[in-house]
Amino acid sequence: MTPAPTPPVHSALRGHIVTFRGNPFLMPPADALVEEPDGLVIITDGRITHVGPYSETVAHLPPGTDVADYRGCLISAGFIDTHVHYPQLPMIAAYGEQLLEWLERYTFPTERRFADGEYAATIARTFLHELLRCGTTTAAVYCTVHPQSVDAFFTESTRLGTLMVAGKVLMDRNAPDFLRDTAQRGYDESRALIDRWHGKNRQFYAVTPRFAPTSTPAQLELAGALLAQDETLFMQTHLAENRAEVAWVAELFPDSRSYLDVYDRAGLVRPRSVMGHGIYVDEQDLCRCHASGCALAHCPTSNLFLGSGAFRLFDVMDAKRPVRTGLGTDIGAGTSLSHLQSMNEAYKIAQMGGHRLHPVQAFWLATRGGAEALHLEGRIGTVAAGMDADLCILDPKATPLQALRTQMCDSTADLLFTLMMLGDDRSIRATYAGGTKVYDRANDATA
Ligand code: GUN
Ligand code: ZN
């Protein structure tokens, strides 16, 4: 007997919808913003089916569907964190060092603990809960060198129904022996993890060489060989974050024209590749990123915390060769999992460089920009019919100060600006992944 088909699951959300019709770095921000002050989003089986003014869209509501009433709040696409290390959550806010010393002193000892699969599962669970508390529904996540750290992460993400990109870190030199693999073992373990997880239940695999100094040329070659087997795979690594690191890479790879070129020679610069940081890159590197479809992750809180330098966002986004760019929290070098805080610091970095980061540009980077960086803009990053229902509900009056400040707001752009400058996890009223409410501030619990 064939089983009876399961009936479709419907839900709906009412509130002030904010999303995008274009890139606000390439067109006037006011034209790029789409908003519906009293809007309705209808969801069936995890996908958005209708978006529009409540008064018109309500006609499409399937009979008996409850409408979650978020009037007074904004309905946005869930935030996308394009660069973050889940195992580093316990060591956030580690004092005093810049990148290379910080890795030795704090990061490597912390990552050692992920040899224990149970510990990894505990931290993966805490990390994903924190992400959802911050309204982030997709992230490109570094695990550790241990395959069990990847299993722990994808197991928990599958349980929640979140769309995640993650992978095992590859390191076969310049790291403590307890965190080193070999080129062949890294290849074999990655291959097995790809077969187990990639493309299953909203989980996607990223081949993850940590950065050029901790991989031999042979390991980078094998990372490229994995990618050559499947164009839907992701790749993530670090690029030109810190001056001492850049000098070290020049010593280790004397034949390469630039740091990016080290990765390019190994076949790692391609669509679905995400390079963390990219502070010390030149015009030729940016042209190569543009042409190849590889992306940069702007990590403002991390770049400030480690004293790494200032990402040249407005150069990177130059209309003559815009580079796909998203925001990354880069926990544990970053200081907050909230992309509202990433936007806050990105604004200040832009100011220091003589640029104005418009709030519509900032929210675009945190949503649609991140989706484009991951080449996932057909599924996530905007609130539109046909997209996955990954949404966050933003409360512009989450604190007494914000309630006071919003009284001065005369535009949606200004409301967004108050959220990005004053907001954090408290601003997230609820988070939806694949149409399911996975976080509700009222009872601060994930599903
Ligand atoms: N470069 C290589 N590894 C890391 C890391 O874990 N964090 C940051 N911020 N930079 C890195
Ligand atoms: Zn990082």
Query: Omega of the bond prior to 332 within 30 degrees of 0, cis?
Result: yes
- Distance from the alpha carbon of residue 99 to the mean position of ligand 1, in angstroms: 7
Longest CA span, the chain:
69
Residue of 103, 106, 239 to test ligand 1 pocket, by largest number of atoms within 8 Å of CB: 103
Binned at pLDDT 50, 70 and 90, residue 78 comes out as very high
Q: Which residue has the tokens 């005093």?
A: 96
From the list 374, 375, 360, the residue with the least C-alpha distance to 414 is 360
- Distance from the alpha carbon of residue 103 to the mean position of ligand 1, in angstroms: 7
Q: Give me the DSSP letters along 280-307.
A: S--HHHHHHHHHHT-EEEE-HHHHHHTT
Pairwise CA distance, residues 32 & 416, whole Å:
14
Q: Give the closest residue (by CA) to ligand 1 atom 1.
A: 238
Task: Using the atom order of ligand 1, give the atom closest to the CA of residue 99.
Answer: 10
Q: What is the mean pLDDT of the chain?
A: 97
Q: Which residue has the tokens 């991390």?
A: 302
What confidence tens digit (pLDDT) does each residue in 290-300 have? 999 999 999 99
Phi, psi of 255 (to 5 degrees): -85, -10
Q: Give the closest residue (by CA) to ligand 1 atom 11.
A: 238
Q: Which residue has the tokens 């990618």?
A: 227
Q: pTM score, two decimals?
A: 0.98
Binned at pLDDT 50, 70 and 90, residue 16 comes out as very high
Binned at pLDDT 50, 70 and 90, residue 3 comes out as confident
Pairwise CA distance, residues 45 & 307, whole Å:
45
Residue of 91, 211, 298 to test ligand 1 pocket, by largest number of atoms within 8 Å of CB: 211
Pairwise CA distance, residues 158 & 156, whole Å:
5
What confidence tens digit (pLDDT) does each residue in 241-271 have? 999 999 999 999 999 999 999 999 999 999 9
From the list 232, 233, 225, 151, the residue with the least C-alpha distance to 188 is 225
What confidence tens digit (pLDDT) does each residue in 397-426 have? 999 999 999 999 999 999 999 999 999 999
In our burial notation (b when 16+ CB lie closer than 10 A, e otherwise), range 100-138 reads: bebbeebbbebbbebeeeebbbebbbebbbbbbbbbbbb
Show the ligand 1 pocket: residues with CB < 6 angstroms: 85, 99, 103, 107, 210-211, 238, 241, 302, 330, 333
Binned at pLDDT 50, 70 and 90, residue 4 comes out as confident
Query: Do 433 and 78 meet the contact criterion of CB atoms below 8 Å apart?
Result: yes
- Report how far apart, in Å, the C-alpha atoms of 236 and of each of 50, 121, 251, 296 are: 34, 22, 22, 10
Ligand nearest to the CA of 330: 2
Sheet bearing 47-53, strands edge to edge: 47-53, 33-44, 10-20, 67-77, 391-394, 428-433, 436-440, 445-446
Pairwise CA distance, residues 124 & 87, whole Å:
8
- Distance from the alpha carbon of residue 84 to the mean position of ligand 1, in angstroms: 9
For range 147-173, the mean pLDDT:
98
What does DSSP say about strands 436-440 and 428-433: parallel, antiparallel, or unpaired? antiparallel
Residue of 91, 99, 331 to test ligand 1 pocket, by largest number of atoms within 8 Å of CB: 99
- Report how far apart, in Å, the C-alpha atoms of 293 and of each of 186, 272, 286 are: 26, 7, 11
Task: Using the atom order of ligand 1, give the atom closest to the CA of residue 238.
Answer: 1
Residue of 85, 89, 215, 263 to test ligand 1 pocket, by largest number of atoms within 8 Å of CB: 85
What confidence tens digit (pLDDT) does each residue in 24-48 have? 999 999 999 999 999 999 999 999 9
- Distance from the alpha carbon of residue 141 to the mean position of ligand 2, in angstroms: 9
- Distance from the alpha carbon of residue 351 to the mean position of ligand 2, in angstroms: 24
From the list 447, 438, 435, the residue with the least C-alpha distance to 42 is 435
- Distance from the alpha carbon of residue 227 to the mean position of ligand 2, in angstroms: 20
Environment class of residue 95 by beta-carbon count within 10 Å: exposed (0-12), middle (13-18) or buried (19+)?
Answer: exposed
Helix, strand, coil percent values for the chain (each to nearest 5): 40, 25, 35
What does DSSP say about strands 445-446 and 436-440: parallel, antiparallel, or unpaired? antiparallel
Query: Do 274 and 294 meet the contact criterion of CB atoms below 8 Å apart?
Result: yes
Q: Give the closest residue (by CA) to ligand 1 atom 8.
A: 333
Q: Give the closest residue (by CA) to ligand 1 atom 9.
A: 333
- Distance from the alpha carbon of residue 84 to the mean position of ligand 2, in angstroms: 6
Ligand nearest to the CA of 144: 1
